[in-house]
């Protein structure tokens, strides 16, 4: 015999925190909601881990960034869950799920049953071992997904500083870029290694990337592009001392930070729920298309992106928050809500720079603004319509205008004029 709840949220990350907040706003009864998390702390804003958490001075550590501070709301610590009658089961991994029986089995052997399950298990980092690299489990090889990883990275940065050591960042995505900025801020010389020809290759064009690479270069960050690491060399204590690249080059190193992507945590539900794009296929209510007592939100959800008539899985915090709230509204209203109508949004902050992106980056990219003044942007125009918008160094009003533009998808007759008008085009909509 185990415990039974009306709703169980599996996972205690960002989406779970926002789901809890929405359940309370909508008046869930005390005792109806349980959140089970492998992490030992209450839900928090994961993006803080590669930003405020890694600062050498004035770092933001927990409890500063528990959900829901990311949207300017109240910070919910364990007491808030207790006060609202939510069973927050921390430090507990669910090792098996049976969606027909509506039960979860924890690693401690407890069976927890539910009427509705919200899967918010997020993702795990891809490890170098999965690509056959040995030595990648050394203590000076760091990954960044949870607060334990972040604490370990902070320790390793301190150890690296002590020996005036150097770091290599493997991967040129936003985790790599944000970690490289943090390492530099910790006075650690950094080399970034990635296989693409420029950083942030999934989003940036070469021109946009050039701005950030030049900026980083001026700070002293080295880039080795179009190359991958092949192996590590270790000393007698197991510490990685050298990164060996595919072309045979060797880089002496004291600290390695790896950001090569993530894998959604859906393994528990393989063979039980319909899957698509590596995630759990849900409908516009965030409800599993194959089991109506199950909802999936955040990084694990493959959902209909209404405005593009397409199914997507997004690994972004804004979607984690909004999809969680939407699933909760569906559960609490017996699905009498409209369909989730999401505008893709992603942002990053590095050094004193900060950018936002809305929509999608397909079609022709039209650059505008002034690179030299760190105030520039880009529009993507596809089949005569503006479909994506990016801006570095924008104001609140400008970012709101970009979102509006990406949502409205106005017709663009003359891309040269669009380039000249730049933000003026979006502001006028
Ligand atoms: P998560 O927040 O990952 O939460 C998943 C939770 O489920 C975790 O608590 C995990 O322990 C738990 N769990 C998993 N399996 C089990 C199990 N079997 N049993 C019990 N518990 C389990 N996005 C942006 O848009 N902008 C950014 O600047 C940005 N920065 C980021 C920086 C970092 C360092 C990271 C790691 C991510 C960043 N993201 C950013 C992405 C964003 O944080 C994620 O998209 C978001 O956290 C997804 O929320 P989630 O709740 O789906 O998953």
- Could you read off the pLDDT of 420-429 as tens digits, one per residue? 999 999 999 9
Q: Which atom of ligand 1 is nearest to the CA of 300?
A: 52
Q: Which atom of ligand 1 is nearest to the CA of 11?
A: 7
The residue among 403, 426, 420 whose CA lies nearest residue 369 is 420
Q: Which atom of ligand 1 is nearest to the CA of 93?
A: 19
Point out which residues pair with 391 in neighbouring strands: 356, 377
Q: Whole-angstrom Cα distance, residue 146 to residue 40?
A: 10
Residue 199 to residues 132, 176, 348, 412: CA-CA distances in angstroms?
A: 24, 9, 13, 28
Q: What is the pLDDT of residues 253-262, one digit of tens each?
A: 999 999 999 9
Query: CB of 320 closer than 6 A to ligand 1?
Result: yes
**Looking at residue 206, what is its pLDDT?**
96
Ligand 1 midpoint to CA 13 (Å): 5
Sequential DSSP letters for 309-369: TEEE----HHHHHHHHHHHHHHHHTTT-S-------EEEEEETTEEEEEEE---SEEEEEE
Ligand 1 midpoint to CA 420 (Å): 39
Ligand 1 midpoint to CA 168 (Å): 24
**Looking at residue 371, what is its pLDDT?**
78
Q: Whole-angstrom Cα distance, residue 200 to residue 282?
A: 28
**Looking at residue 421, what is its pLDDT?**
96
Query: CB of 61 closer than 6 A to ligand 1?
Result: no
**Looking at residue 325, what is its pLDDT?**
98
- Our CA dihedral for 72, 76, 81, 84, rounded to 10 degrees, sits at -40
Query: CB of 361 closer than 6 A to ligand 1?
Result: no
pTM assigned to the model: 0.97
End-to-end Cα, the chain, rounded Å? 59
- Ligand 1 pocket test, candidate residues 47, 65, 154, most atoms within 8 A of CB: 47
Q: Whole-angstrom Cα distance, residue 326 to residue 316?
A: 15
By DSSP bridging, strand 345-350 and strand 353-359 are antiparallel
Query: CB of 323 closer than 6 A to ligand 1?
Result: no
Element (H, E) at 418: helix 415-421
Cβ(153)–Cβ(141) below 8 Å? no
SS3 sequence, 370-383? EHHHCEEEEEEEEC
Query: CB of 302 closer than 6 A to ligand 1?
Result: no
Q: Which atom of ligand 1 is nearest to the CA of 16?
A: 51
In which residue ranges of the chain is pLDDT below 70?
Answer: 1
The residue among 289, 258, 285 whose CA lies nearest residue 272 is 289
Q: Whole-angstrom Cα distance, residue 201 to residue 196?
A: 7
**Looking at residue 1, what is its pLDDT?**
63
Ligand 1 midpoint to CA 23 (Å): 20
Provide the token pair at 67: 């959900």
Cβ(232)–Cβ(246) below 8 Å? no
Q: Which atom of ligand 1 is nearest to the CA of 39?
A: 11
**Looking at residue 158, what is its pLDDT?**
98
């Amino acid at each position: 015999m185990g415990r039974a709840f009306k709703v169980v949220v599996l996972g205690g990350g960002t989406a779970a925190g926002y789901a809890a907040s929405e359940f309370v706003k909508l008046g869930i009864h005390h005792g109806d909601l349980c959140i089970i998390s492998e992490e030992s702390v209450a839900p928090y804003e994961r993006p803080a881990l590669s930003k405020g958490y890694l600062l050498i001075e004035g770092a933001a550590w927990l409890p500063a960034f528990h959900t829901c501070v990311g949207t300017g709301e109240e910070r919910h610590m364990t007491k808030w869950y207790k006060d609202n009658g939510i069973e927050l089961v921390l430090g507990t991994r669910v090792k098996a799920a049976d969606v027909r029986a509506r039960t979860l089995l924890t690693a401690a052997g407890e069976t927890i049953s539910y009427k509705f399950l919200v899967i918010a298990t997020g993702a795990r980092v891809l490890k170098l071992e999965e690509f056959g690299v040995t030595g990648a489990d050394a203590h000076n090889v760091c990954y960044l997904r949870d607060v334990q990883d972040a604490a370990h990275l902070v320790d390793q940065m301190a150890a690296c500083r002590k020996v005036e050591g150097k770091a290599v960042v493997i991967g040129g995505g936003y985790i790599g870029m944000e970690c490289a900025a943090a390492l530099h801020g910790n006075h650690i010389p950094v080399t970034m290694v990635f296989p693409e020809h420029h950083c942030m290759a999934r989003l940036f064009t070469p021109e946009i990337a050039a701005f950030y690479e030049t900026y980083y270069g001026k700070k002293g960050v080295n880039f080795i592009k179009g190359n991958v690491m092949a192996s590590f060399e270790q000393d007698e204590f197991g510490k990685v001392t050298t990164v060996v690249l595919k072309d045979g080059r060797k880089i002496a190193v004291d600290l390695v930070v790896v950001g090569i992507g993530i894998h959604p945590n859906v393994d528990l539900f393989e063979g039980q729920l319909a899957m698509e794009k590596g995630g759990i296929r849900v409908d516009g209510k965030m409800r599993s298309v194959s089991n109506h007592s199950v909802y999936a939100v955040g990084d694990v959800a493959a959902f209909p992106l209404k405005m593009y008539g397409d199914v997507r899985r997004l690994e972004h915090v804004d979607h984690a928050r909004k999809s969680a709230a939407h699933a909760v509204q569906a559960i609490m209203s017996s699905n009498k809500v409209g369909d989730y109508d999401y505008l893709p949004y992603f942002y990053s902050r590095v050094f004193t720079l900060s950018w936002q992106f809305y929509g999608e980056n397909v079609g022709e990219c039209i650059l505008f603004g002034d690179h030299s003044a760190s105030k520039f942007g880009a529009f993507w125009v596809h089949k005569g319509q503006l479909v994506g918008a990016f801006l570095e160094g924008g104001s609140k009003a400008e970012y709101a205008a970009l979102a509006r533009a990406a949502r409205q998808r106005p017709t663009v007759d003359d891309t040269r004029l669009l380039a000249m008008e730049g933000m003026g085009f979006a502001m006028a909509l």
